[in-house]
Amino acid sequence: MSGNPLYEIHDPRFQQLIIGSAALDELYSGCRWAEGPVWFGDANQLVWSDIPNQRMLRWVDGGGVSVFRSPSNFTNGNTRDRQGRLVSCEHGLRRVTRTEPDGAITVLAESYGGKRLNSPNDVIVRSDGSVWFTDPSYGILSDYEGYKSPQEQATRNVYRLDPETGALDMLVNDFLQPNGLAFSPDETLLYVADSGASHAPEAPRHIRVFDILDGKRLENSRVFATIDKGIPDGMRVDTSGNVWSSAADGVHCFAPDGTLLGKILVPQTVANLTFGGPRRNRLFITATRSLYAIYVTATGAQVP
């Protein structure tokens, strides 16, 4: 433990990733459930989702907060593709969309096997342009974060959308609630959170890791790390391969071997995070009602 109440140091390596004098800045408060942070370096802004309030918000460095999109169809996770286009998971319409430069919405995925998706939750784009996303049931459980509806898929899966053919492949179907996901810096590994314990205490609250074969298949599933406070939701990986995961008490940082290095303690339950800022060394954290940010020495691996 350190003397700094902002951090829990579980391994000396964590000292090299954080800044002892850094502050946790609360950039905005007033969300109901903040999620899906995505950094736009070209506009020096962060966009995120406020799911129950049916809106997406935008924080501009030096310029304050404004509404980015409303209604948002209960958008949850967001990312950008290699062309910088916004890719989003919509609970409300149970689909993954891309926002074109002119603002038009392109539907990337909304069904599998002739049945509607559950409620896409989080999404990432690989350097080959493929779109990978999770499809738990949170957005159809109630009218709070979407529209209460029957689940049509037999399971809650992880999918990959092929950039050439547009075909949707189901990669894994044995999660209770697949949630946040991230690639290792070299894109040979995929991390996926199982947040099943959100509604069943004995259910998984861990992150699994898979080997990626041929850029399109997963094998060798194993538990990477278990979250000891709350559940894992969104996560990001830094350029050294450390995994930064959301949890009830803050952000947990794991070494590539799964060792818990330390925590950044946050006053509210963390749902997601992303690296941003001009140097990609500022961690933006969506935590229940608020957007927080803190500078670290680590640098986000995700591009753009």
Residues at the contact surface with Mg ion, assessed by CB under 5 A: 121-122, 179, 233
- Kindly write down the DSSP assignment for every residue of 241-294, as one continuous string: --EEEEETTEEEEE-TTS-EEEEEE-SS---EEEEESTTS-EEEEEETTEEEEE
Nearer to Mg ion, 14 or 138 (CB): 138
Q: How far is the CB of 1 from Mg ion (least distance, A)?
A: 29
Q: How far is the CB of 33 from Mg ion (least distance, A)?
A: 10
Q: How far is the CB of 136 from Mg ion (least distance, A)?
A: 8
The two three-digit tokens of residue 17, written as one number: 């990733």
Nearer to Mg ion, 120 or 276 (CB): 120
Q: Which amino acid is residue 39, in one-letter code?
A: W
CB–CB of 272/258 below 8 Å?
Answer: no
Beta partners for residue 206, in sequence order: 194, 226
Q: How far is the CB of 3 from Mg ion (least distance, A)?
A: 33
Specify the DSSP class assigned to residue 296.
B
Q: How far is the CB of 114 from Mg ion (least distance, A)?
A: 26
Distance (Å, whole) CA 302 – CA 140: 29
Distance (Å, whole) CA 216 – CA 285: 30
Nearer to Mg ion, 6 or 249 (CB): 249
Beta partners for residue 209, in sequence order: 191, 222
Nearer to Mg ion, 8 or 122 (CB): 122
Q: Which amino acid is residue 261, in one-letter code?
A: L
Nearer to Mg ion, 179 or 268 (CB): 179
Give me the helices (H) in the chain, please: none
Nearer to Mg ion, 53 or 179 (CB): 179
- Which residue is it, tokens 């049509």? 152
Q: How far is the CB of 272 from Mg ion (least distance, A)?
A: 6
